[in-house]
């Protein structure tokens, strides 16, 4: 009974600890501003487990708000993953007085969190003049008089429409194609975002936040003048070859119709709702849904000719460098080996080359950080891996160079980069430091990987039968004759029956998530069977595509994740506390190998594809034995 109580207690403590890791905070760039001035609101979510939905930012009294997009940072330190997501908004004040920004609601996985409001003070706008401060916009409220002010014919598709276009009609696998939404309008309009999000399955997506100062131009189409502005840009990185028809979604806009609405007066507006003169002529505001045409993108497989052996699917233009934080240390002192991979391309999926085993060193877990920038309408950034190594003996050591290969779409060729070798001089160290590899501030004391020479005989596990009588005897009465024995057994059986009933209680037939989870293995087996036929037919591209559908779809259905393409990070967030680390490691390796196969056109041969197929079956079978809920 005591053990049972401890199990319940520990379960509660672990649940509380996991919940406590999630932190949500809000930050504003300033707490006092004048009418027409702007501030930036950041909603920062740290260590969230599961999918993070966009925060519900309801109408903010006294402000006009615009989404600035989302940024994300993921770090893996000593095998532990930490993440930070930041949702940014631009707010422009349009009335004076004390204001509350918020509260907000954020849904993470199946939980909804509430965030307290932030208080700011808005004052009367000051006289215009030269200033190095933030931009100031003249604002006024939009009035909505009698609906009869609307034209009888209403608003037509010729008054306001969207053109969606790609900067390239054809790209290679993992080469970005820029999807741009351009708004054309003859009326005063405010862009509201997506009424229906685009369907981008099969792509890695990098969304560009809207510019603070939208660029507008004037164009004449069919004899009519329009104000034209790019309202959204999305970089699409395809993960397999083929011809894709992209459903680009439906946009929303608020159209302002004035009693004296002329084209020239619209130049006092922009598509994000900021005005430079009072809105005395507005007669009606109408919400408008604007459908966007589908676009077609042809994705070419990467060439097999000239592909380096170490190629992992990187496409773009990159640079790599390595360094040591110390050049001379005593034996047993930790040193940080740093690899920095930077450039233009799909930074989020880059695989930084790993440091091979070093003789004479202890090698600790690596930490990875990723930084992505989109300031130049390019997806660029860097990925940094830091590994702590500790020399065991004195001498001069060489950390060998690392190689990294990528495909350059501009030239249509593969490139291979190589870091410089790093020289480390190791001086004699204190005996106790060399024996255990000293623990300093540079290396966590909890990390002590065992080498062969570190293993010592502590005790023997064989105990021989005694041949002499030590005088001790068994109890006079048998255990089963004691009343408390039967009482404990009866209580144990009752608790077992109760927990078994609760554990195996079937979900309601109307539960979609439960239905998805029950049929996840059946659907995955069907796709694996199809993948096996494609393997026998030596259709590598189709094999990798079908195998990826089987694995990603299985985890999406099994864990109740939205969509049909579960990322490993989502799987890890849900299953970290529910399964063995070894099984998660096998799943991580499977996801990495599938991604590499898709990006490199599966040029590894039949044996590797067969091994990957068996690995997928093994991982799915392993997760079938894990209790999800």
Q: Please classify residue 401 by burial: count the beta carbons closer than 10 Å to its beta carbon, then call 0-12 exposed, 13-18 middle and 19+ buried.
A: middle
Q: What is the pLDDT of residue 267?
A: 40
Q: What is the pLDDT of residue 54?
A: 75
Q: How much of the chain is helix, strand and coil, in % rounded to 5?
A: 25, 35, 40
Q: Which element (helix H / strand E) includes 533?
A: helix 512-536
Q: Quickly list DSSP for 344-381.
A: EE-GGG--PPPPPP-TTEEEEEEEEEEEEE-TTSS-EE
- Is the pLDDT at 361 greater than 50, yes or no? yes
Q: What's the mean pLDDT in 530-535?
A: 87
Confidence at 296, pLDDT banded by 50, 70, 90: very high
Q: Which element (helix H / strand E) includes 320?
A: strand 316-324
In angstroms, the CA 458 to CA 443 distance is: 27
Confidence at 146, pLDDT banded by 50, 70, 90: very low
Q: C-alpha 263: how far from its chain's center?
A: 43
How, if at all, do strands 395-399 and 380-391 pair?
Answer: unpaired
Confidence at 415, pLDDT banded by 50, 70, 90: very high
In angstroms, the CA 384 to CA 338 distance is: 7
CA 564-570-576 angle, to 5 degrees, is 135
Q: What is the pLDDT of residue 604?
A: 58
- Is the pLDDT at 247 greater than 80, yes or no? yes
Q: What is the pLDDT of residue 275?
A: 44
User: What tokens appear for 196 in the block?
Assistant: 């229906």
Q: C-alpha 474: how far from its chain's center?
A: 63
- Is the pLDDT at 61 greater than 80, yes or no? no
- Is the pLDDT at 324 greater than 90, yes or no? yes
**Average pLDDT, rounded, for the chain:** 75
Beta bridge partners of 417: 404
Residue 176 has φ and ψ, to the nearest 5°, of -75, 145
- Sequence length of the chain is 629
Q: What's the mean pLDDT in 162-181?
A: 93
- Is the pLDDT at 143 greater than 50, yes or no? no
Q: What is the pLDDT of residue 535?
A: 84
In angstroms, the CA 303 to CA 315 distance is: 12
CA 85-88-89 angle, to 5 degrees, is 155
Q: What is the pLDDT of residue 73?
A: 64
Cα–Cα nearest to 436, from 426, 447, 425: 447
Confidence at 89, pLDDT banded by 50, 70, 90: confident
Q: What is the pLDDT of residue 599?
A: 59
Q: What's the mean pLDDT in 56-73?
A: 67
The residues, any chain, with a CB within 8 Å of residue 288's CB and separated by 6 or more, are 155, 160, 189, 252, 253, 254, 255
- Is the pLDDT at 106 greater than 80, yes or no? yes
Q: Quickly list DSSP for 91-150.
A: EEE-S-EEEEE--EEEEETTEEEEE--EEEEEEPPPPP---SS--B----PPP---GGGS
Q: What's the mean pLDDT in 42-46?
A: 86
Give exposure, 184-209, as e/b (b: 16+ Cβ within 10 Å). bbbbbbbbbeeeeebebebbbebebb
Q: What's the mean pLDDT in 429-444?
A: 49
Q: What is the pLDDT of residue 139?
A: 33
In angstroms, the CA 48 to CA 111 distance is: 11
User: What is each CA distance from 340 to 11, 87, 320, 323, 374, in whole angstroms?
Assistant: 40, 27, 6, 9, 19
- The crossing angle, in degrees rounded to 10, of helices 540-558 and 581-599 is 140
Report for 229-243, 260-274, 461-475, 560-574: range of highest mean pLDDT: 229-243
Three-state DSSP at 433 gives helix
- Is the pLDDT at 603 greater than 80, yes or no? no
Q: What is the pLDDT of residue 297?
A: 94
Least confident of 194-198, 207-211, 387-391, 422-426: 207-211
- Is the pLDDT at 448 greater than 50, yes or no? no
Least confident of 213-222, 291-300, 402-411: 213-222
Give exposure, 509-532, as e/b (b: 16+ Cβ within 10 Å). eeeeeeebbeebbebbeebbebbb
Q: What's the mean pLDDT in 21-47?
A: 83
In angstroms, the CA 379 to CA 122 distance is: 37
- Is the pLDDT at 577 greater than 90, yes or no? no
Q: What is the pLDDT of residue 440?
A: 42
Confidence at 174, pLDDT banded by 50, 70, 90: very high
Report for 1-15, 16-30, 72-86: range of highest mean pLDDT: 16-30
- pTM confidence score: 0.48
């Amino acid at each position: 009974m005591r053990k049972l109580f401890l199990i319940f207690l520990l379960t509660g403590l672990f649940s509380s600890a996991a919940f406590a890791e999630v932190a949500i905070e809000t930050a504003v760039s300033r707490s006092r501003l004048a009418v027409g001035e702007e501030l930036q609101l950041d909603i920062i979510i740290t260590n969230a487990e599961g999918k993070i939905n966009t925060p519900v930012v309801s109408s903010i009294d006294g402000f006009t708000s615009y989404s600035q997009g989302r940024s994300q940072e993921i770090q893996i330190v000593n095998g532990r993953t930490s993440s930070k997501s930041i949702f940014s908004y631009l707010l422009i004040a349009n009335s004076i007085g004390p204001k509350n920004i918020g509260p907000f609601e954020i849904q993470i996985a199946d939980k909804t969190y509430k965030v307290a409001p932030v208080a700011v003070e808005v004052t009367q706008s000051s006289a215009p003049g030269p200033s190095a401060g933030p931009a100031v916009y003249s604002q006024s409220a939009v009035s909505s008089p009698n609906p009869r002010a609307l034209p009888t014919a209403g608003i037509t598709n010729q008054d306001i429409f969207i053109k969606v276009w790609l900067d390239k009609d054809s790209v290679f696998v993992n080469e970005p194609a820029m999807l741009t939404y351009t708004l054309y309008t003859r009326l005063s309009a405010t862009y509201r975002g997506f009424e229906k999000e685009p369907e981008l399955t099969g792509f890695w997506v990098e969304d560009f936040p809207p510019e603070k100062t939208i660029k507008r131009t004037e164009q004449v189409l069919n004899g009519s003048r329009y104000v034209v502005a790019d309202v959204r840009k999305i970089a699409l990185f395809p993960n397999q070859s083929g011809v894709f028809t992209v459903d680009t979604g439906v946009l929303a806009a608020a159209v302002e119709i004035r009693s004296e609405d002329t084209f020239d007066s619209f130049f006092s507006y922009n598509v994000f709702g900021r005005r430079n003169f009072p809105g005395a002529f507005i007669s009606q505001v109408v919400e408008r849904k604007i459908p966007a045409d589908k676009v077609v993108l042809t994705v070419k497989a990467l060439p097999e000719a000239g592909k380096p052996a170490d190629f992992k699917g990187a496409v773009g233009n990159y640079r790599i460098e390595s360094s040591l934080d110390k050049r001379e240390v005593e034996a047993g002192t930790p040193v940080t080996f740093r690899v920095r991979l930077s450039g233009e391309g799909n930074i989020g999926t880059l695989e930084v080359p790993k440091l091979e085993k070093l003789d004479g060193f202890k090698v600790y877990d690596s930490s990875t950080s990723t930084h992505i920038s989109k300031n130049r309408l390019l997806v660029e950034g860097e990925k940094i891996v830091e590994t702590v190594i500790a020399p065991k003996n004195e001498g001069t050591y060489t950390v060998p160079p690392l190689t990294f290969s990528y495909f350059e779409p501009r030239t249509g060729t593969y490139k291979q980069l190589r870091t410089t070798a790093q020289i480390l001089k190791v001086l004699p160290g204190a005996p106790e430091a060399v024996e255990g590899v000293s623990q300093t501030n540079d290396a966590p004391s909890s990390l002590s990987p065992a080498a062969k020479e570190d293993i010592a005989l502590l005790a023997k596990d064989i105990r021989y039968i005694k041949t002499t009588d030590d005088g001790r005897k068994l109890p006079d009465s048998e255990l089963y004759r004691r009343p408390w024995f039967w009482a404990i057994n009866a209580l144990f059986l009752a608790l077992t029956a109760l927990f078994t009933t609760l554990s195996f209680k079937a979900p309601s037939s109307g539960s979609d998530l439960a239905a998805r989870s029950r049929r996840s293995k059946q659907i995955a087996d069907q796709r694996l069977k199809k993948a096996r036929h494609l393997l026998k037919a030596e259709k590598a591209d189709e094999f990798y595509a079908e195998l990826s559908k089987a694995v990603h779809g299985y985890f999406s259905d099994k864990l109740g994740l939205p969509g049909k393409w579960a990322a490993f990070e989502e799987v890890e967030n849900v299953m970290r506390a529910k399964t063995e680390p070894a099984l998660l490691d096998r799943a991580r390796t499977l996801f990495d190998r599938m991604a590499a196969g898709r990006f490199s056109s599966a040029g590894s041969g039949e044996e590797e594809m067969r091994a990957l197929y068996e690995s997928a079956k093994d991982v799915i079978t392993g997760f079938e034995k894990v209790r999800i809920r």
